[in-house]
Structure 1
Amino acid sequence: MTNAEPARSREQRKQDVLDRLEKDDDAWVATASADGVPTLVPLSFVWDRGTLLMATRRTNPTARNVTPTGQARISLGHTRDVVLIDATAEVVEGAELSPESGDAFATKLDWDLRGRTPWVYLRFTPYAVRAWREENELSGRELMTDGRWLV
């Protein structure tokens, strides 16, 4: 058992989530194939215009899974500071990516994939966000539903 700090306000939790989206580099991404086979992988990301922009090889299961289902779950943090994001996902070819998004990805991650055909970008648009640290933050952990921030 841990000695939990006092629960954060929902406003503070939202700000902490936004800070992590701006500053963190990596997240766990869960998708499933059309027949329900799950895949969980770490991917680097940039928070770009209200979405998480990531990249992977087009032949990897994560890229293939985005097409049939369009659904993903993304996790930031560790087990004592959880951010869970449910998102719709789409594949974006490098040639279709806006210069601003490509520049943001390349600058933050020091990795420019534009023009590299084995790779595709994945854009995840959050529709639900939950965040909590300990049991005392389970209540009020829902910060976004239906794509709208609740706080």
Structure 2
Amino acid sequence: MTDHEPPRPRVQRKQDVLTRLAKEEDIWVATASADGEPCLVPLWFLWDVTGNDRPDAGTLLFCTKRNNPTARNLTPKGKVRLSLGHTRDVVLIDGTAEKVEGTDLPTASADAFAAKLPWDPRDRTAWVYLRVTPRTVRAWNEEHELAERVLMRDGEWLV
């Protein structure tokens, strides 16, 4: 058994999640085909807060080839699970994804994506953006933080 610092308060966990969303470049994206075949891939992402006055009111933006399983697996409900971190510092996000053509993506969002990541796919027709609106966010770092790991439910922050 490992000695732990006391569990982080939920407000601190939320801030830690927002900091990671703003700074990290890679996220694990999980989808499933209509027949239940899972797909898990790492993708570059942007925590897109353009047009928002609150840093916690963003969406996640990634890009993938339109014929890749990640894009093909999106059902009309667009359910997706995202994960940041390793097994001792976990952020799990369940959300709703929508496909956005590069020509339809707001310029501010496309500019922010290209500024954060060394890639600008907006004029590449083989690629499509995926915008994920978070519905549930959970964060914990080991067992001692499991009790209050839910930070967002039904798209609303609890803290």
Q: Do both proteins adopt the same fold according to a TM-score greater than 0.5, normalized to the shorter chain? A: yes
Q: Superposed, which structure 2 residues align to 1:38-117 within 5 Å?
A: 38-49=38-49, 50-117=58-125
What is the percent sequence identity of the aligned residues? 69
One-letter identity of the residue aligned with 1:6: P
- Aligned-residue offset at 1:42: 0.2
| Alignment correspondent of 1:120 | 128
**Equivalent position SS for 1:6:** coil
Q: Which whole-Å deviations, capped at 9, do the CAs of 1:67-108 have from their partners, x for residues lacking one?
A: 454100000011100000000001100000000000000000
One-letter identity of the residue aligned with 1:61: P
**Equivalent position SS for 1:131:** strand
Taking structure 1 as reference, are residues 73 and 24 closer, same or farther at Cα in structure 2, changes over 3 Å only?
A: same
**Equivalent position SS for 1:138:** helix
Q: Which whole-Å deviations, capped at 9, do the CAs of 1:21-40 have from their partners, x for residues lacking one?
A: 00000000000011111100
Specify every segment of 5 or more residues in structure 1 that has no aligned partner in the other structure, as ranges: none
| Alignment correspondent of 1:31 | 31
Q: Normalising by the residue count of structure 2, what TM-score does the alignment of the two structures yield?
A: 0.92
Aligned-residue CA RMSD (Å)? 0.9
Give the total of aligned pairs: 151
- Aligned-residue offset at 1:66: 1.4
